[in-house]
Amino acid sequence: MKNNQVVYLCCTLTLMLGSGSSLAARNAPDIQLCNLPENSSIAHPVTDLRTDARAYWLSADRLRWPGKSDNGSFFLVSSASAALKLRTGDTISGADQLIPLTPASQPLQDARFRFTGSGAELQTALSATELKALLKTQLLLVKTDANKRIEDLTYIQHPAALDVLYATASSAVLGPVVQQDTQLQVWAPTARKLWACVYPDHKKPAYRLQEMQEDNATGVWSAQLKGKLRGQYYQYLAEVFVPGKGIVLNRVTDPYSVSLSADSKRSYIANLSDKALIPAGWESQPRPDTVKKLPDMSVYELHVRDFSINDASVRPAWRGKFLAFTEQNSLGMRYLKTLAQAGMTDIHLLPVFDFATVPEKDCKTPRISASGSSPAARIAQARSANSDCYNWGYDPFHFNSPEGSYASNPDDGARRIIEFRKLVMALHAAGLRVGMDVVYNHTAFSGQHPQSVLDRIVPGYYHRLNAEGKVEDSTCQPCGNTASEHMMTGKLIADSLSLWTNAYKIDSFRFDLMGHQPKALMLSIQERLNSEAGRPVQLIGEGWNFGEVADGRRFTQASQLSLSGSGIGTFSDRGRDALRGGGAGDSVESLTGSRGLLNLTLCNNCNQNPQAKQHQQHLLDLTKAGLAGTLSHYRLQTTNGEWRDLRNLDYNGQPAGYATNPGEAVNYTENHDNHTLFDINVLRLPAETDMQERVYRQILGLATTIFSQGVAYFHAGSELLRSKSLDANSYNSGDWFNRIDWSMQTNYFGTGLPPAADNQRFDTIYSKQLENPALKPSASHIRQTHAAFLDLLNIRRQSRLLHLETSQQVQRQVSFPLSTSEYADHISLLIQSDQNSLDEPSLLVFFNFSKSPISVQPNGLPASDWSLHKIHLTTQHGDLRIHQEAKYHADKGEFSLPPLSVVVFTSQPRK
């Protein structure tokens, strides 16, 4: 906010309220404050612009100031009018209250606060009522010397105190409640006053300004409004103290908004059970019964706009919208139905909650014409990046409302509710369950930013702060990491997931950067959702271990290793990196040089090159780890003949195996992040590699996911050789770089240099590849990849052996028979039936990563009559080489395999 704006707002507020004492002591502000274009006004600015908060409340009667000795005197210094003028070297003056603190006899032993480090531990004898009142004021912790002069001063991080003081708020009902009358409730324990602005519609001025009442036990403020105000809109005026600003009057939407007007300007009043918001057939819709347990899941990750914006068979007004999924005869919906018939169980939608980074009205899609390495698309996209209609949506604004840019009319809060429900119905009718990609680890903005919500209602509570009191941003820059370890942040997340599960019939959830959330919270959410839904609600997420919470610094995280045994799935990077090469965030060197099994030139005579042989063997073993469900205690005979538990197999200094049961591993070779598999192979395979070979390698990559124990996860279009013209991070790259062609005519490779931000350092490499016409697949190549994918997905659907539920089953039934150790070019995967599935044919799956045909004699195969899987024998459009070239020679116990192929044999045990 510019200085002249601050002056204007202060003057405006003074005129409307009159001069003198603080707002809290006055009557309601003028209703015109509900209608100003600015949404924040400073009533009483502070003279000291400090914002540091280097001390912590540990409870309602104890504080810690890390790094400080307890020599000297400590005081809590308070001013209700934000009038403190404190400087080091001065004595304390101008305070309303000066509260001496005493050193604690022993430091508090609480693992939650280990991260703070040691320091001065201080106690106060304040009552709960007194402390609640203090926390609404300007409150600093001050240390003085023997001469009563200030040595240091700081604000205090207060979430732990608020969680103790307002513990009963954990069961409060928040947001709009519409019954005979209308009630608005918001948790704001540090607010001095709150009012509700009520609007008749999305644009008319407020007609009512209702003072809200605080429940001192819970910190919840309520407005009781006569009548059913459904279809109307509201905002809050919250008077709060903000460090570095002063006493501020924030006009802000409801964190529990169930819907909004366009661009999230006003919250929408609704009862989600209202008949007017329920599409015909909603209550009686059939829910696909394809998933009984996590390993039954085959997930297709899809962006709402990607699905239809490029589909001419969808009516123009619905392209890129929720309603596109209701076009039952569109190319896209026919395509999704085909996937469902082949065994895809879930569509996981990239963020569909309200996000901050797309104009919901009047967004403009640039007109682009570019090919090869032309910079035209890059330039056009850069000009429109902040005004076009595209973003992945990992920028949460309101967690509980559907996104308005996907609605036919974002100004009408009812439309997004109804139309998202219609999307869910349409996918259920197509035989597909619906999953949501949820992002609770950060919000798009924090502090006093106009698109910050949580921090403008309870400053300093909902976001995780560092040792200086600044908002952590390890998950997203310049976003703000949420502090899900705090009671009411955790409640907001749990309540939000409950709403999506119950009000929208969501079947499963994928958590973005789940490792930044506590394991305890995830387990409580799992229990709550399963109980409320009366069915298992599958939870999977990114269990990456990094940032300020890494290695359990603040709490036991919901990360890969710690979630073992929880029944919550985490994405496994073990097999992914072994197959693709490299990892997340490739450097210029690793982009082309760090290869995996899908793009590595294998050694021909490995015994003559022991280093290459060892590397290839390790890649094969990591791939086997994925195929075996990434189980920590799975006993693997490695490619060099040794026996190891997967927890003792190295993956970049971590255990290759970490899961207790196979459903806790989510297997994938491609998702929305980073390069597509086709694009990374463009960069890592020799330029002269022909397109047919690239097709076979793509199929191999997809096959490893299909035949791995655990959850199978696919990025939309990966089975269509999807390209983003080498874009490494297409989150804000517009429709041009994110298109999918359901007609299977093109994969959009070579459609211009991708946006500069995440790609420009690779331009020299990219330009050469994008100009190569041999790297553009034909329609027949795309169709062949698609057909082969459906064949293999059908095999997964048909065999219970690819959905094993326990580690005991996997250890007993899954093995990797070795042939001679001279070879490091293939994997033999044997999955046997057991006494509980004697009618189930055993599977013998071969992955040949060699460019040559090979003959394999696996050791220790059970006595069986092996034959090619019937799907290989009947395929019309998939990999036709399999039934022509793959053979089993019973007399020699030998299998012949085509180059770069995945081949499945089946057998019944001999009687």
Active site residues: 512, 542
Cis peptide upstream of residue 295 (ω within 30 degrees of 0)? no
Q: Find out whether 440 and 493 touch, Cβ atoms under 8 Å.
A: yes
Q: In terms of DSSP H, where are the helices of 771-847?
A: 779-798, 807-813
Structure tokens at 489: 């942040």
CA distance 592 to 768: 13
Cβ–Cβ under 8 Å, residues 9 and 38: yes
> What 3 state SS string does 501-545 have?
HHHHCCCEEEECCHHHCEHHHHHHHHHHHHHHHCCCCEEEECCCC
Cα angle 771, 598, 783 (rounded to 5 degrees) comes to 65
466 conformational bin, left if phi > 0, alpha if psi -120 to 50, beta if neither: beta
Count CA atoms within 13 Å of residue 114 on its CB side: 11
- Phi, psi (deg, nearest 5) at residue 896: -100, 130
- Beta pairing partners, 170: none
- Give helix 691-706 / helix 573-580 axis angle, nearest 10°: 170
Strands 220-225 and 213-215: antiparallel
Residue with structure tokens 């529990």? 256
11-38 burial, b at 16+ Cβ within 10 Å, e below that, comes to: ebbeeebeeeebbeeeeebbbebbebee
Torsion of CA 578, 581, 585, 590, to 10 degrees: 140
The answer for residues whose C-beta is within 8 angstroms of residue 397's C-beta and 6 or more apart is 264, 354, 355, 356, 443, 444, 451, 453
Strands 654-655 and 650-651: antiparallel
Contacts of 689 (CB under 8 A, 6+ apart): none
The tokens for 513 are: 């950067």
Strand runs labelled E in 682-810: 711-715
> What CA–CA distance (Å, rounded) separates 190 from 238?
10
Residue 664 DSSP code = G
Burial of 271 (0-12, 13-18, 19+ CB in 10 A): middle
The CA–CA distances, whole Å, from 464 to 425, 457, 809 equal: 38, 16, 42
Q: How many whole angstroms separate alpha carbon 733 and alpha carbon 756? A: 10
Q: In angstroms, what is the C-alpha Rg of the chain?
A: 30
Strand-pairing partners, residue 894, are 889
CB count within 10 Å of CB 567 equals: 17
Tokens at 902, concatenated: 């995945």
CA within 13 Å, CB half, 394: 22
Structure tokens at 85: 């003028």
Q: How many residues does the chain have?
A: 911
Please, what is the Cα angle at 719 between 310 and 621, to 5 degrees?
145
Determine the distance from the C-alpha atom of residue 281 to the mean position of all C-alpha atoms in its chain, rounded to a whole number: 31
Phi, psi of 368 (to 5 degrees): -125, 140
